[in-house]
Every structure is written in C-alpha cells, then in structure tokens.
A and B are shown apart, each in its own frame.
Chain A
Amino acid sequence: MSDSAVIPVPAKPVPEWRQYLRFAWNAFSQSVEGGWKFYVWMTLLTAVFLVGANAWAVQVRDGMALTAMSDHVSWGLYIANFTFLVGLAAGGVMMVIPAYLYHDEQMHDIVIIGELLAIAAIIMSIMFVVCDLGRPDRFWHMMPGLGKFNFPVSMLTWDVIVLNGYFAINVYICGYLLYKRFRAQQPVAKMYMPAVFLSIVWAISIHTVTAFLYCGLGGRPFWNTALLAPRFLASAFVSGPAFIIVAIQIIRWQTGRMFGEGAIRTLVGIVRITILISLLMVVSEIFVEFYTGGSHTGAAKYLYFGLHGHHELVPWIWTSIVFTIVAVVLFMQPKVNRRPVLLNTACLLAFVGLWIEKGMGMIIPAFIPSTLHEIVEYRPSLTEWKITAGIWALGFMIYTLLLKITINIHSRKLKDTSGARTVTPDDALAMADGGGLV
C-alpha cells in the first residue's frame, strides 16, 4: 500500500498559497463540467438570473418606482427574502451542533452540506440587500474606514459585520477542509475547530441581529416584541434542516451513492421539535395581539383577517398556517423516515410555509397600517419577482457548483496530482479509512 502511495518529490517546493490557488482553480474548472442534465439545469438558472439582472439594471436606472413599494410600505419582497435567507444560512448550524458538539458521526460526515448552504444563502441575502438599495453605487459609504459606519448604534451595521463574518467563517472552514481532502491530508483540528465553534455562536447571532433590526423600532408595534428574535431562530431551524433533507436526497439521486441516512433521521428529529416551537411562537403572538386588542394590533388584524376592507395578505398567511400544520402532522408520522414522498412533501410544505410566514407574513404587515394608521397595500410588482427569481437562481447555481466541488473531491475525481509533496503513510492510512466528508 505504501509503495503505490509514494509520489516523487519535485525539485523545488511549491508554496502553500500557490497550491491553494491551484486547488481553487481545479475545483472550479472541474465543477463546471457535467452531463447534459447539469448543463440544462445551469442554463435554465443562468437564463433566470439574467432576467433578474436586467430587471435590476432597469430598476437602478429608472428608480424604485418600478417596484410596488411606497412611502407607507417601504420594505417589500427584497427584505422579506433577505430575512428568510439569513435564517436559511443560520439553519446550517442545526447540522454543525450535532456533528461537533454531540459527536454525531453520521452527521459529521456530511455537515459540509449545511456549511455550503450557509455560504450560498449569505451571498443571496447580501444580494437582496444590495438590490433593495436606492443608490447601490454608493455602497462604499458603508465601508468602515472608507465611508461612515454608524457602529454600534445602527443595527444595520451590526448586520453587515455579522453577515460578512459568517460568510468568511464558512468559506474558511469549507475551504480548509476541502483543500485538505484535495491534498489527501488530515485536517489539523486546531486550524478549523475554533472556527467551527465560532460558527455555531455566530449563526445564532446573525439571525438575532437581523431580528434586532426590526424589533428595536418603537414605531412599529407589530415588530416591537421580544419574541421576534426567538421566532426568527425557531423558523430558521425548520427551514434550514428541511432544505438540507431534500438536498441530501438530490445529491444521492445525482451521485448514485446512498449516504446520510442517519443524518436525515437526526434532522427530522430536530425539525419535529423546532417546527412545534415555531408554531407555538406564532400562537403566542396571535394570542397576545388578539386578546389585548386596541389600535396597536391593527397589523395583526390586517394580516389574519383583513382591516377596513383590505385583505391582500390574508390568503398568504392562512396558506402558510395550513402548510405548516400539515407539515407538522406529516413530520410526526413515524413512517416519514421511510417514505420519501411523505418526507419531501413535509419538507417542501414547511419550507414554503415558513418562507411566507417570515417574508410576506412578518415584514409586510408591520407597514400596514402605517405609523399614522393609514392602510396602503402592497402586492409585489413584476420587477420585484424577476429580481427575486434571479437571485434565487444565482443562489442555486452557486450551491450546485459548491456541491459539485465537494462531491468531486470526496469521490477523488478531483485530487491533487501535482506531486507537490510526499504522501506520508499516515495520510495514506487516512485515505484508506476515509470516505466520510470531513
């Protein structure tokens, strides 16, 4: 075994950073190759992304009057999606905690799927914020040092820090682990374990800070509740695992490899709890609003039952509630682990239900009625849908490419063939045992 593993040492040693660049280049260039299904998928996504990019360019040129937002409802579909996606990014931590804190070996092998999801979701959420800016050309005004950064008073600055930090942490962790696997070397614990533990705390913080953006505003009673941050976290910890459960099955289907059975069981177990907690928090909000009554509950009345003849959001929220309850019922079935149709239906219903509840059902109602109790309704315009679709398409493209890199590395299709260093017997031993994804 050691004979076949020895590779001759080249004359001049190559510095680590150049090897990293070579890894990155190889990873990317191999990831854009694939079968016809892959090309069709990516072309479709590219087409949708280009439609969105064009819509955004027109919006920047002609003004945000192209959206359906107004001085009354000044945040809409973009911020709704931003909020949901920050939650999706935080949801990846539901894999990291069992893998690293509870040493769940089966989860440990595939936790990178959650970390890659975090990367893609953070990119998407940052893009949604940029698309929501009236003057994206003035982006540099927000950079500390270059522009003026109103830290620590403005919660948006906290959000900028934690989102970029979370992105950097996950890129570092995934980049390090994938690189080590590419080089067929054992990852060094002290190089990535602190970052992993930091990412657990940081994941909670990104969604808490995002919630603090909203719940600190006294002028918006619908948001001004201490329960907002816990609600955000609870729904993040449903949507993240639900997405990952489906993602694992798609990867199985594409690679033909059966893996992640234990991980899915763990995730289903997690979702069973978090979806109930999420539902409980919704019930708690509903009770407080409707039992208390008064003018400050106008937003809740508008959302659930309509107000003064306006009821645009009522079908949305009840769809979300029905979807979530059906998802709960399905998840609680013991056979959900054995029937993929049940499982995937439950995941899809939970995902869509929470997208509605967090997006249209939590961001928009805070603006209706307005702070002076006027009702101006909001229905997203075509421009907003196009840009939203475009960013989701880009997110899927990024996630696809990242997963392909990971699959290529773990299937040894993508490996370091430069012979830059001698493979030691220890490394070879790790390779022989290996098969797991970390």
Chain B
Amino acid sequence: MSRLLKQHPSLAWIALVVFATLCSLAVVWAQKNLGAAESAPVMKSQPKPEKHPVTIKPGPPTPRLDTGLKDAQGNAITAACSTCHSTTTPNTTRNTAHDLFQAHRGLSYAHGQLTCLSCHNAKDYDTLHLADGRSVAFPDVMTLCAQCHGTAMRDYLHGSHGGMNGHWDLSKGPRVRNNCVNCHDPHHPEFPLVRPVLPPRDRISVPNVPAEH
C-alpha cells in the first residue's frame, strides 16, 4: 500500500476526496431520514380556555302564505298554513308537486319517495313532525333532517359536513355554522348545479385553453 502511494502520491489526494464525498453523503442521508422524529406530532390534548360560542344559523321561520293582498298600511296580508289546511282533507300519499295549482304552484319537489306528510304535520300544518308523531317547530328543522340523515348530522356535529365561518380555534374566537336548510332546499335537497368560477390560465395572462382530455 505504501509503495503504491509512493509511486503515485496523487492517489492519496483522490482517496481523500472520495472519503470526504462519502462523509458528506452520509450527512445528507442522516439529515433527510433521521431528522423525521423531531417533527412527529406531539399527542397532547390541550385544555382550551373559555370557548367562544358556536352559533348555528337559525332555521326557517314558520312559513306563512302571501295572499298578494295588502292591508291599509301597505303590509302584505299573509295566511298561516293551517288557515287553508284546516278545511282540506290531508292527503297522506301525495309525493309530487307538479300538479298543484292552488297554493304551492311551481314548487319543485324531489326528495326521494317521501310523501309531503312524511315531514309536514297533518295534525298541525304550522309545524313538522318526527316519525313517532312528535311535532317539531319549523325553526328546529335540523332535528327532523337528522332523523333520517343521521350520518350527515353526526359528521356535521363533528365539523366535517356543512362548513363553517369564523375560527378553528374556539379559544380565540367564535364560529358560525350553517343550518341544514341554508344549503339544502328541503323540497329539493340535492345541491344545485353551479357554474365554476376563475378558470386557471396556464401562462401569464393567456386565456383559458379548452380541455382536450
């Protein structure tokens, strides 16, 4: 070995360079792989001081029908649902709206196979009712939705359905949640089609390139 080095002293230089390179590569590997442990999440639960309130937007008010007439002060004259419905026979099998021609004309209805009276209360048309007959006031409609859509309500209560505005950290500020009916029309709950906004542009100030896929 020493004879080799004596004849070709430059080999020592080369060996040194190679050794330094290997050391640096070892450092790179270590930094990339061994540093991971530091960034593992710390699983401690922090008791948050005084939580700010979570407000759920109010449900719909008890609906009243606008007769189209105005009173002496110019206010609209409205009628409660029970005004007309106390004189009609409840139709427990109706589950379409396209042939309604008196009130409720133009109501778009698409809520599965449910009949109107699955939710509306034949005993008191100014309220809704649960499956066991208990009445539910219109502003409390979320209880009725949750009756069938329990999984969605479970997700909603855990924050993964329905969105929110405000703070993720309730110790820093309040939060406002949507009511079910803010996003889902109870008669036509499927989310409506919308036009998308802000199409991406692939070069600076170049108009949108049409899809080719």
Contact = CB atoms under 8 A, between A and B. Distances in A.
Q: Report A-B touching, CB under 8 Å.
A: yes
Given A201-B17, A376-B202, A194 B27 contact: no
B17 A198 contact: yes
Contact of B32 (A153, A193, A197, A205): A153
A311 interface: no
A376 B203 contact: yes
Nearest to A377: B202
B24 A65 contact: no
B212 A72 contact: no
Contacts of A151: 24
Contacts, number: 42
B25 to A, nearest CB: 8
Nearest to A201: B14
Contact of B202 (A72, A190, A309): A72
Contacts of B25: 152
Determine the main DSSP class of B at the interface with A.
helix
Contacts of B13: 194, 197-198
B27 A70 contact: no
A40 to B, nearest CB: 40
A143 B25 CA distance: 21
Contact of B31 (A70, A153, A197, A374): A153
A205 B202 CA distance: 37
A102 to B, nearest CB: 14
B213 interface: yes
B213 A308 contact: yes
| Residue among A68, A152, A196 with max Cβ neighbours from chain B (10 Å) | A152
Determine the main DSSP class of A at the interface with B.
loop
B204 interface: yes
Given A152-B24, A152-B27, A70 B14 contact: no
A168 B95 CA distance: 87
Interface in B183-211: 202-204
Contacts of A374: 202
B10 interface: yes
Contacts of A198: 10, 13-14, 17
B90 interface: no
Interface residues of B, number: 19
Contacts of B18: 201
A376 B209 CA distance: 10
Interface residues of A, number: 22
Nearest to A155: B28
B60 interface: no
A70 B24 contact: no
B202 to A, nearest CB: 5
Given A72-B202, A308-B212, A194 B32 contact: no
B10 A193 contact: yes
Contacts of A196: 10
Nearest to B18: A201
A152 B203 contact: no
A70 B32 contact: no
Contact of B10 (A197, A375, A376): A197
Interface in A195-246: 196-198, 201-202, 205
Contacts of B10: 193-194, 196-198
Nearest to B27: A152
A375 B17 CA distance: 43
| Residue among B24, B31, B202 with max Cβ neighbours from chain A (10 Å) | B202
A309 B212 contact: yes
B53 interface: no
B203 A197 contact: no
B68 to A, nearest CB: 55
Nearest to B23: A152
A408 B202 CA distance: 54
Interface in B21-37: 21, 24-25, 27-28, 31-32
Contacts of B28: 152-153
Contacts of A68: 203
Nearest to B16: A198
B9 interface: yes
Contacts of A201: 14, 17-18
A190 B202 CA distance: 58
A190 B204 CA distance: 57
Nearest to B10: A197
Given A152-B27, A153-B28, A309-B212, A70 B17 contact: no
Interface string A160-204: 000000000000000000000000000000100110111001100
Interface in A374-395: 374-376
Nearest to A71: B202
A158 B41 CA distance: 32
Nearest to A161: B24
A70 B32 CA distance: 29
A205 B203 CA distance: 36
Given A65-B204, A197-B11, 9 more contacts: A70-B204, A152-B28, A193-B10, A197-B10, A198-B13, A201-B17, A201-B18, A205-B21, A308-B212
Interface of B: 9-11, 13-14, 17-18, 21, 24-25, 27-28, 31-32, 202-204, 212-213
Interface of A: 65, 68, 70-72, 151-153, 190, 193-194, 196-198, 201-202, 205, 308-309, 374-376
27 contacts: A68-B203, A70-B202, A70-B203, A72-B202, A151-B24, A152-B24, A152-B25, A152-B27, A152-B28, A152-B31, A153-B28, A153-B31, A190-B9, A193-B10, A194-B9, A194-B10, A194-B13, A196-B10, A197-B14, A198-B13, A198-B14, A201-B17, A201-B18, A205-B21, A309-B212, A374-B202, A376-B202
Closest 8 CB pairs of A and B: A197-B10, A152-B24, A376-B202, A65-B204, A152-B28, A194-B10, A70-B203, A194-B13
